[in-house]
């Protein structure tokens, strides 16, 4: 199966390239700020399946760059999805827990009402809506708290800070599921194969288990790395940011298991593997 991937050096795109012989397009080959060019890239490559693993992910900067974020996260996926629908090939797109406002205490189901708190969430929701409106065969995979041995993520930030600090204050009232980028790549490849064989797609959730807080995630990171860092939990109100974050990012992933047999990954086990990768 010939798979075209938008994204080359991001966390999920890197893991896809490690696992499969894909055509990966970086920004120099396909700039998502130009949706027409993205559509043309699909037609030129003539793939059997397209995965969009690229996005505007600067959550705080997006508050000042709504037009750009909406183009990259909203208009470009829509153009990709419409092209894939025209070509009758599957299109798989990654979305986010930020489409929810985090106001509940239970895991969010794919059918729950969306209410993004900021520009980033709105731009990703625009992408979801554009993909669904395109018709054809599509999957939207919402995920959360992505981490890996490469790129920019919470684990690598914590490790960097621990080089010069022996104590940190970390938010404890935001709860979610840290998700290994490698597990996301595996899930996408499984779904792509199933859809190419005729299975239908839809909107799904995928996140690591068990749910935890940023504070506990940080503590587990330092424990795995063998670093003696004191982590003190603080409320979100003590760590103001330009963009508001959802307090509850738990995702109900049961339909993904039912339809594709894909289980939630154990993020603690993945964290151990990532530490080994970083030490080599």
Give catalytic residues, as residue numbers. 120
In angstroms, the Cα distances linking 245 to 19, 115, 174, 213 are 32, 12, 8, 13
Angstrom CA distances, 85 to 10, 65, 78, 202, 223, stand at 25, 30, 10, 14, 47
Unique residue bearing structure tokens 């731009």:
123
d(CA 35, CA 244): 28
Q: What sign for the dihedral angle of Cα 64, 70, 76, 77?
A: positive
Does residue 229 contact residue 84 with C-beta atoms inside 8 Å?
no
* Strand, helix or coil for residue 101: coil
Dist CA 224 CA 219 (whole Å)? 9
- What are the phi and psi torsion angles at 251 (to 5°)? -120, 130
Structure tokens at 257: 């298991």
Burial code (b: 16+ CB inside 10 Å, e: under 16) for 128-138 equals bebbbebebbb
Residue 143 region by backbone torsions, left for phi larger than 0, else alpha for psi between -120 and 50, else beta? beta
């Amino acid at each position: 199966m010939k798979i075209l991937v938008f994204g080359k050096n991001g966390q999920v795109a890197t893991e896809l390239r490690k696992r499969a012989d894909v055509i990966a397009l970086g920004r120099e080959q396909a700039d998502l700020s130009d949706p027409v060019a993205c559509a043309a890239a699909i037609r030129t490559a003539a793939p059997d399946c397209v995965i969009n693993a690229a996005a505007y992910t600067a959550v705080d900067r997006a508050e000042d760059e709504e037009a750009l974020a909406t183009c990259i996260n909203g208009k470009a996926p829509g153009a990709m999805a419409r092209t894939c629908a025209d070509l009758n090939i599957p299109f798989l797109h990654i979305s986010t827990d930020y489409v929810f406002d985090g106001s509940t205490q239970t895991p969010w189901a794919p059918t729950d009402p969306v209410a993004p708190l900021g520009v980033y969430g709105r731009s990703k929701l625009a992408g979801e809506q554009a993909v669904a409106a395109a018709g054809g065969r599509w999957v939207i995979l919402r995920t959360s708290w992505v981490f890996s041995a490469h790129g920019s993520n919470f684990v690598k930030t914590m490790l960097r800070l621990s080089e010069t600090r022996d104590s940190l204050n970390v938010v404890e009232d935001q709860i979610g599921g840290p998700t290994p980028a490698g597990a996301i790549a595996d899930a996408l490849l499984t779904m792509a194969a199933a859809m190419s064989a005729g299975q239908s797609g839809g909107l799904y959730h995928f996140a690591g288990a068990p749910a935890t807080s940023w504070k506990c995630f940080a503590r587990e990171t330092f424990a795995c790395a063998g670093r003696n860092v004191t982590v003190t939990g603080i409320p979100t109100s003590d760590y103001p940011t330009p963009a508001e974050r959802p307090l509850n990012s738990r995702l109900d992933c049961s339909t993904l298991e039912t339809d594709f047999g894909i289980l939630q990954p154990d993020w603690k086990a993945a964290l151990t593997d990532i530490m080994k990768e970083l030490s080599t």
